[in-house]
């Protein structure tokens, strides 16, 4: 569904920041990952394959193939539509060029499913300063999406997206790294889900409410600022923290905070523990129950635009399977990660039980189990 695409497009636009070390091309590496998300009536799983390889002294290229196999009976689907299955396939390519202490990056990504096609391209530049104590990076991305609606061949809309990103990372001491990122994204086009509905009070309906299609603004601009740090402990372990402030022109404001700990154990094992907290305010045009039909120019009942909190508990374990290398492999890792996520909504109600009066239904919450298993080799 569109929701998955839109978000990955934004994220993918800036994929170059993920693996970039300052003025050093990323290591030659291949990863094969299996992912599975299970929560709120939705199951999504599939593979992700990522390969990065230097093709010349100063050039590194990468490619990623990613699949989401979706089976959805979410609360939205159960209350207003029918369960469905779908597959989304995403492919991306990128290249980094190192010149002196500068890295130029560029890439392209395509994501495709039955009712949504997303494309994005990016360009970025990263520069070391002050004896490589400081690294600044900046980038621009452009996305262009085609929105369809299954069962309605006449429906065709589009979205255009521009993203601007500025980042800085700093070596502070022998044990401390800090980073900061500013990112602004603007969207223009058909930004709501063509299948999703809002509900409004309707005394003539048996349930006391009826549905009509969501109507979103045609533009959105968001700004996110984040700071992060990583500190090496006296023994071989590290703690990290990250905070993000988010704000957009739809009235959504959010805070994200994360704390994590990494500890090598039992020689070839690595343990990761993390806790993440997220809270957001609702969009100005969000309501769980509107007072009447066409109550406002813009209306949404997308729970992702509601008031809610969530937290994540994460644990990861990696095992170094090739500490001395093998043939042309320098080393290899097997990794398993598990995240438990809990979502608690403050103004999105659970309509699966018909016994309550409109607006008096229990508030919705759900938990999700997220599993990743991946194999990595360096060569």
Partner 1 sequence: MSVCLAVAGLSGCSNIEPWVKPYERDRLADPIMFFDRDPVSSAYTHHVYEAREGARGGLGSAGGGCGCN
Q: Bridge partners of 282?
A: none
Cβ atoms of 224 and 182 closer than 8 Å: yes
Q: Least distance in Å: CB of 17 to partner 1?
A: 5
* Least Å from the CB of residue 234 to partner 1: 10
Tokens 């042309």 belong to 328
Give min distance, CB of 197 to partner 1, in A. Answer: 19
**Residue 37 or residue 200: which is nearer to partner 1 going by CB?**
37
CB nearer to partner 1: pick between 63 and 81: 63
Q: Please say which residue, 296 or 372, places its beta carbon nearer to partner 1.
A: 372
CB of 59 to partner 1, least distance (A): 16
How would you write 239-253 as a 3-class SS string?
EEEEEEEEEECCCCE
In the complex, minimum distance from the CB of residue 318 to partner 1, in angstroms, rounded to a whole number: 8
Residue 202 or residue 255: which is nearer to partner 1 going by CB? 255
Provide the b/e sequence for 75-97 (b: ≥16 CB within 10 Å). bbbeeeeeeeebebebebebebb
**CB of 53 closer than 8 Å to CB of 89:** no
Complex with partner 1: residue 53 or 201, whichever CB lies closer = 53
Q: CB of residue 301 vs partner 1: minimum separation in angstroms?
A: 13
- At a CB cut-off of 8 Å and minimum separation 6, what does 173 contact? none
Contact 216, 194 (CB under 8 A): no
For residues 376, 244, 91 and 71, what is the CA-based torsion angle, rounded to 10 degrees? 90
Least distance in Å: CB of 172 to partner 1? 8
User: Alpha-carbon distance 164 to 124, whole Å?
Assistant: 10
Q: Classify residue 353 by burial, with Cβ atoms within 10 Å: 0-12, 13-18, 19+.
A: exposed
Is 296 in contact with 275 (CB distance < 8 Å)?
no
DSSP type of residue 69? E
């Amino acid at each position: 569904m569109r929701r998955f695409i839109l978000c990955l497009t934004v994220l993918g636009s800036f994929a170059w920041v993920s693996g970039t070390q300052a003025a050093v091309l990323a290591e030659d590496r291949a990863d094969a990952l299996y992912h599975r998300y299970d929560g709120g009536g939705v199951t999504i799983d599939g593979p992700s394959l990522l390969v990065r390889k230097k093709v010349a002294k100063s050039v590194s290229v990468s490619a990623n193939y990613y699949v989401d196999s979706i089976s959805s009976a979410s609360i939205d689907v159960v209350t207003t539509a029918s369960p469905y299955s779908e597959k989304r396939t995403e492919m991306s390519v990128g290249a980094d060029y190192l010149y002196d202490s500068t890295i130029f990056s560029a890439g392209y990504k395509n994501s495709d499913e039955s009712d949504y096609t997303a494309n994005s391209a990016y360009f970025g530049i990263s520069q070391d300063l002050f004896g490589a104590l400081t690294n600044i990076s900046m980038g621009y991305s452009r996305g262009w999406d085609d929105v369809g609606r299954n069962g309605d061949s006449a429906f065709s809309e589009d979205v255009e997206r521009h993203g601007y990103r500025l980042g800085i990372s700093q070596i502070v001491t022998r044990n401390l790294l800090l980073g900061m990122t500013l990112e602004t994204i603007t969207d223009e086009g058909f930004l709501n889900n063509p299948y999703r509905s809002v509900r409004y009070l309707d005394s003539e309906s048996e349930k006391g409410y009826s549905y009509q299609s969501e109507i979103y603004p045609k533009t959105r601009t968001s700004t996110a600022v984040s700071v992060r740090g990583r500190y090496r402990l006296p023994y071989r372990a590290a703690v990290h923290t990250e905070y993000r402030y988010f704000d957009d022109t739809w009235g959504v404001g959010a805070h994200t905070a994360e704390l994590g700990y990494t500890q090598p154990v039992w020689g070839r094992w690595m343990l990761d523990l993390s806790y993440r907290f997220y809270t957001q305010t609702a969009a100005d045009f969000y309501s769980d129950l509107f007072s009447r039909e066409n109550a406002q120019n813009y209306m949404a009942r997308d729970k992702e635009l509601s008031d809610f909190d969530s937290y994540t508990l994460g644990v990861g374990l990696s095992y170094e399977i090739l500490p001395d290398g093998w043939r042309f492999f320098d080393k290899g890792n097997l990794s398993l990660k598990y995240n438990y996520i809990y979502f608690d909504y403050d103004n999105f109600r659970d309509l699966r039980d018909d016994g309550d009066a409109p607006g008096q239904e229990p508030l919705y919450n759900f938990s999700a189990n997220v599993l990743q298993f991946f194999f990595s080799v360096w060569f």
